[in-house]
Amino acid sequence: MKSETRFASHPQDVKNYDTDRLREHFLIKDLFEADKVNMVYSMYDRFVTMGVKPVSGAVSLPAFGAHTKADYFLERRELGIINLGGYGPVIVDGETHTLSNKECLYVGKGSKEVSFASDSTDSPALFYINSTPAHKEYPTTKGEQKDANKVELGSKDNCNERTIYQFIHEDGIQSCQLVMGFTILHTGSIWNTFPPHTHHRRMEVYCYFDLPEDQLVMHFMGRPDETRHLAMRNLDAVISPEWSIHSGAGTSAYSFVWGMGGENKAFTDMDGVAMDDIR
């Protein structure tokens, strides 16, 4: 088990960050280690990002009491899971929910025991998890790809054809504040979320996946007139503050999980940025 806390950074300070410091504060690496639950606790909306890779047996979700001061992790929290690997069951208070690749599971506040396993040691599950504080209990709910709200965006001319799968959102799986899904870039397209936007009522975390090991994504962040970039590899995640754009361009097609927490669950609540304002 590995856990750490990331403190919020003022955008004026971020203007002075070099590459190493930018990566230290916002880039999340090495989430998936065999038979471990690795976690980053961010002070941006107290958003938690986790990765679980069960190989030799079931792995239980710790309380992470040093961070949560709770008897069990979901005492005052909710979480969403998207499986980025092989088949694997998630056991919630004795009830088994098996997730295949790119399926989602929402687990609500008050669930006491959560554990993770894989059907195959050769192709283990990769459970990518986002968690936010919760004030109300919602039922544990599984979402298959066919259940997601599917949105087609972009064009070949702009190299940004992509399909968005919305799972946990105001018109889908219900939650207190967590919003979660993923985006798949079509072959030949490299740009996501461009022209970019911010949303001051929510922060966001991206996790890039299905990216070949010898390829990378250049993730762009920062205020629209003070952009910075991070070179990211497969299964890297990045914290995106409410004041920051979040956009990427890859050296090949890729996918990414997006998760949000904050004031509302309205997926369309965005503050668009004009192309002329990007610097």
Which residues have CB under 8 Å from 140's CB, separation 6+? 92, 95, 97, 105, 106, 107, 108, 111
pLDDT in tens, the chain (279 residues): 889 999 999 999 999 999 999 999 999 999 999 999 999 999 999 999 999 999 999 999 999 999 999 999 999 999 999 999 999 999 999 999 999 999 999 999 999 999 999 999 999 999 999 999 999 999 999 999 999 999 999 999 999 999 999 999 999 999 999 999 999 999 999 999 888 889 889 999 999 999 999 999 999 999 999 999 999 999 999 999 999 999 999 999 999 999 999 988 888 888 888 888 889
* pTM of the complete model: 0.96
Q: What is the DSSP string of 4-41?
A: EEE----HHHHTT--HHHHHHHHEE-----BT-EEEEE
Dist. CA 192–CA 184, nearest whole Å? 9
Query: How many Å apart are CA 39 and CA 104, to the nearest integer?
Result: 19
pLDDT for residue 275: 85
Sheet of strand 245-250: strand arrangement: 191-192, 245-250, 217-222, 228-232
Domain ranges of the chain: 2-277
Supply the CATH classification number for the domain 2-277: 2.60.120.10
According to the model, what pLDDT value does residue 142 have?
98
Q: Write down the pLDDT at residue 128.
A: 98
Half-sphere exposure of 68 (CA within 13 A, CB side): 23
